[in-house]
C-alpha cells in the first residue's frame, strides 16, 4: 500500500537525520499496527507543527507534546516526503519554530 511506503520512507529519513534526534517515535514501529500516520513526541511539538504548516506541510498537534503526520496516498509522493523532511530539518536547525508567533496556542493546528 502506498501510504505504508510513504510512511516508512518518512520514518527512515527522520531516523537517519541527526538534527531530528529529539523526535521520538511513539507510533508502533510495525506499519500494520499504525495505519497511515506517524506520531512523534518532541518538547516543542506545538511550535514545530505551526512552523511546518506555515511552510506548506500539514501536520497535527496532540497535547501534550505529539506531532502527528499523515500520509495520504492520493495526493503525496516520495518527492513530497523528501521536501517535507527537508523543511522540518530547516525549521529545527534554524530554530524558526522558537519565534513568538508559533508559541501562541491556537484552537486548531
- Domain with 45, as residue range(s), is 2-97
Is 105 among the domain residues? no
Q: List per-residue pLDDT tens for the chain, 109 residues long.
A: 899 999 999 999 999 999 999 999 999 999 999 989 999 999 999 999 999 999 999 999 999 999 999 999 999 999 999 999 999 999 999 999 999 999 988 776 5
Within a domain: 70? yes
Residue at 104 is within a domain = no
Number of domains in the chain: 1
Backbone dihedral region for residue 56 (phi beyond 0: left; psi -120 to 50: alpha; all else: beta): left
Whether 52 maps to a domain, the answer reads: yes
What is the rounded CA–CA span in Å between residue 68 and residue 106? 16
- Domain membership flag for residue 37: yes
Amino acid at each position: 500500500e502506498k501510504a505504508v511506503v510513504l510512511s516508512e520512507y518518512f520514518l527512515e529519513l527522520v531516523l537517519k537525520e541527526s538534527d531530528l534526534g529529539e523526535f521520538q517515535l511513539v507510533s508502533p514501529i510495525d506499519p500494520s499496527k499504525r495505519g497511515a500516520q506517524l506520531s512523534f513526541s518532541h518538547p516543542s511539538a506545538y511550535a514545530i507543527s505551526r512552523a511546518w504548516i506555515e511552510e506548506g506541510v500539514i501536520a497535527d498537534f496532540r497535547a501534550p507534546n505529539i506531532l502527528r503526520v499523515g500520509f495520504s496516498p492520493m495526493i503525496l509522493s516520495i518527492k513530497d516526503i523528501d521536501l517535507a523532511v527537508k523543511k522540518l530539518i530547516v525549521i529545527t536547525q534554524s530554530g524558526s519554530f522558537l519565534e513568538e508567533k508559533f508559541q501562541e496556542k491556537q484552537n486548531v493546528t
